[in-house]
Amino acid sequence: MNKFLKYGLIGAGAAATVVAGGAAYLAATFNPNDYKPQIIKAVKDEKQRTLKLDGDIKLTFFPSIGASFGKVSLSEFNSEKEFAALNDARVSLALLPLFSGQAVVNEVMLNGLKISLVKLKNGKTNIDDLLGKEKGKSESKTESKPEGAPVKFDIASVRIEKTELRYRDENTGAQYALKDINLKTGRIASGVPVKIDFTAALQAGQPKLDMAIQLKTSLAFDLEKQTYRLEGMDLLAKGEMDGGNLEAGLSLPKLEGSAKSFKSDAFVLDVEARQAAQSFKMKLSSSAYGNFEVQQFNLSDLVVAVNITGDSLPNKSVSSEMKGGVQVDAGRQSAQISLAGGLLQSQIKAKVAVSNFSNPAIRFDVEVDQFDADPYMPKKTEGDTGKPASAAPEQPFDLSALKKLNLEGGLRIGALKAANVKASQVRLNLKAHNGIASINPLSANLYGGNMAGSVTVNAAQAVPSFAIAENLSGIHVGALLKDAANFDMLEGKGSVSANLSAQGNTVGALKRSLGGSMALNLADGAVKGINVAKKLREFGKGGASQTMAASKEEKTDFSEMKASFKVKDGVAHNDDLLMKSPLLRLSGNGDINIGDDSINYLAKATLARTLEGQGGKDSVGGITVPVRLSGPFADLKYTLDFGAMVSDAAKQKIEAKKEEVKTRLQDELKGGLKGLFK
């Protein structure tokens, strides 16, 4: 037995001596630098690229097989422009373990590697020829994978220093660079946890980005079971983005999986962005599961918390925390999102479904308890009339997103305030497809009554069009007009209907193109700004027209008011106004120019036969007074034509005198006839 062991050891030593001697002889006699011209020519002939080998090539054969390269560069396809360059590279493998099917790598080192990737205008990239896509397709049909036990490998360490990767898109102009890449690992082998330390700098032009990235984690994998496990992963990115500061961190306690699936403990993503005017913080956490075979992925216990601070925000801060889940089925191209929680000052329940990721079809159902939109809407500056400045023309609507939108769903809001209009039990169903969006129904309770109707926007045509059909019943019109448009000229309760359409790509164009019809039917209200009865009580014997501004303290009461309007080219015309009160009857006709926010209207008020009880005079009973309302909404003027009233009064007196004389003559004639036939 001892002899066999002795001779075995002697034979092994002899074999090792032969291998070592052969390797030493090969290293001493073979110089790879002598073959540089042939290597350069082969690359040029095969790939039409220029290879430069400016540094020495060194080979070792024992006790490790290794190679090291000095400065190397490779040009673009059919060009002398540099595509990739390398300052230094070394790799070595232990020789003897190769005979037992093991690849034991002593060292892998890269220094100063630079690669520039370009997506060309024709959609191809500058590495397509190196990847050999067309050749690979033909070879894949005939090549078969060799069978046998997998080669075991063991890498002592990997070190990558001062590496740079650049990417440029010639179509979009986007440019990205990953610079100062440094990677350092411990031992890499099956079943052995390896520590990974990675740093780099990320730069971009769109958006402007300059970030420092740092990653630390521990990775373990099992080649036989084809599983892996990440533990204690911490990823930190910190730097500048579009003139502000951005910091993001991802913490992942454990992620394990295989080529088929993965699952993770609850990960945490923290994002903080700061600019001069405000700051933004977000924290997202969830466990995750995914199955690559069926292409299904799940965030089952998602929590998203957001906090934004800034002087321009309501109370200088807004916050939100939503909880729910996300399910994605990539095979069927569908996703389901369910969220509930606080958003701004509201409590929200939302369900969203997305299908067909290439051309998304979105379905949603959202319920909100209450929402006040006004704190988040632009505030008018002092002296702002709402009209665009003449030096700054209106900007057209951008409805391009609507043309590709495929959206359908419902929204319910318990209490809503928007543009100072208050409503409750708001319900709307929205449908958008092929550039046409419709809200039908659009209903709500507001100002003591209710609203029901629809709104349609057509962005499919060159100039977008809008249509609205709404019926308001039991509405306190005065409160609505005051809140909605700060128009405090009318009171009353009743119904208002509008069936209007407009076409244009600015607010001004829409107002000038407005067409359709409107109608109102009010009761127990008042027209503010003038008290017709009072003005007539103050009237003396002289008569002349009098123009006065609207007075906030004056109003003319009515028990009934009806009117209909025909709207064309932004002008609402009325000729059937009827307003009644115990003291007067009022009719009229005229125009409301919505396009330039002005009124030109002539009303005729006919007084009752007596103003007794109101301090009036019997002599003015039955007189018709023309009242003209004109001017811009912000500065309305009333003109009372007392001259016409005096003329009308004189006519009435003459007519009354005629009747008196006629009656007297008739009486005298009757008396004379009676005496004649006695």
Q: Each residue of 44-61: pLDDT tens digit?
A: 999 899 999 888 888 777
pLDDT at position 571, please? 95
585 or 676, which is more confident? 585
What does the pLDDT read at residue 546?
A: 60
Question: What pLDDT was estimated at residue 616?
Answer: 44
Residues 19 and 60 in one domain: no
pLDDT of residue 33: 82
In a domain, 83, yes or no: yes
For 454-486, letters b (16+ CB in 10 Å) and e give bbbbbbeeeebbbbbbbebeebbbbbbbbbeee
Do the domain assignments include residue 209? no
372-411 per-position pLDDT tens digit: 988 877 665 544 544 444 546 788 888 888 888 999 999 9
Q: Among 428, 520, 523, 411, which Cα is nearest to 471's?
A: 520
Listed residue (200, 236, 203) closest to 217, CA to CA:
236
Q: Are residues 9 and 46 in the same domain?
A: no
* Residue 550 token pair: 């609207």
pLDDT digits (tens, 9 = 90+) for 144-164: 445 555 556 788 889 999 999
| SS3 label, residue 382 | coil
Question: Do 77 and 168 reside in the same domain of the chain?
Answer: yes
Residues 41 and 26 in one domain: no
Does this model's pTM top 0.75? no
Q: Note whether residue 91 is domain-resident.
A: yes
Angle at 610 between CA 604 and CA 616, to 5 degrees: 90
223-276 pLDDT, tens digit each: 888 999 999 999 999 999 888 899 999 999 999 999 899 999 889 999 999 988
Q: Which residues pair with 240 in a beta bridge?
A: 210, 245
Among 165, 189, 213, identify where a domain stops.
189
Is 50 exceeded by the pLDDT of residue 350?
yes
The answer to the question of residue 182 being in a domain is yes
* CA–CA gap between residue 251 and residue 235 (Å, rounded): 7
| Mean pLDDT value of segment 177-196 | 92
Residues 26 and 41 reside in one and the same domain: no
pLDDT digits (tens, 9 = 90+) for 410-436: 999 999 998 889 999 999 999 999 999
Give dist(CA 613, CA 538) in Å, integer: 15
Distance CA 206, CA 19 (A): 58
Q: Is residue 17 domain-shared with residue 90, that is, in the same domain?
A: no
- Count: domains in the chain: 3
**179 and 93 belong to one structural domain:** yes
Residues of the chain above pLDDT 70, percent: 78
Domain-embedded: residue 638: yes
Determine how β-strand 261-274 pairs with β-strand 82-86.
Answer: unpaired
Mapping DSSP to helix (H, G, I), strand (E, B) and coil, where does residue 380 land?
coil
In this structure, which amino acid lies at residue 259? Answer: A
549: confidence class by pLDDT, cuts 50, 70, 90: low
Tokens for 183, please give them.
Answer: 């990677």
Give the pLDDT confidence score for residue 141 in this predicted structure: 46
In angstroms, rounded to a whole number, what is the distance separating the alpha carbons of residues 235 and 239? 14
Residue 547 is assigned to a structural domain of this protein:
yes
Q: Mean per-residue pLDDT for 193-207?
A: 92
> According to the model, what pLDDT value does residue 12 have?
40
pLDDT digits (tens, 9 = 90+) for 553-589: 788 888 899 999 999 999 999 999 998 888 778 889 9
Residue 388 lies in a domain: no
Same domain (yes/no): 587, 629? yes
Separation of first and last alpha carbons in the chain: 184
Question: Do 569 and 541 share a domain, yes or no?
Answer: yes
Bigger pLDDT: 63 vs 84? 84
pLDDT digits (tens, 9 = 90+) for 278-299: 899 999 999 999 999 999 999 9
pLDDT computed for residue 596 by the predictor: 87
Same domain, 103 and 21: no
114 located within any domain: yes
Q: Which of 115, 92, 114, 96 is nearest to 105 (CA)?
A: 92
Q: Which domain does 7 fall in, by range? A: 1-30
Q: What integer is the mean pLDDT of 621-627?
A: 71
- Give mean pLDDT, residues 437-450: 94
Co-location of 4 and 100 in the same domain: no
| pLDDT, greater one: 33 or 524 | 524
| Whole-number Å distance between alpha carbons of 434 and 429 | 17
Residues 500 and 637 in one domain: yes
Dihedrals phi, psi of 124, to nearest 5 degrees: -85, 170
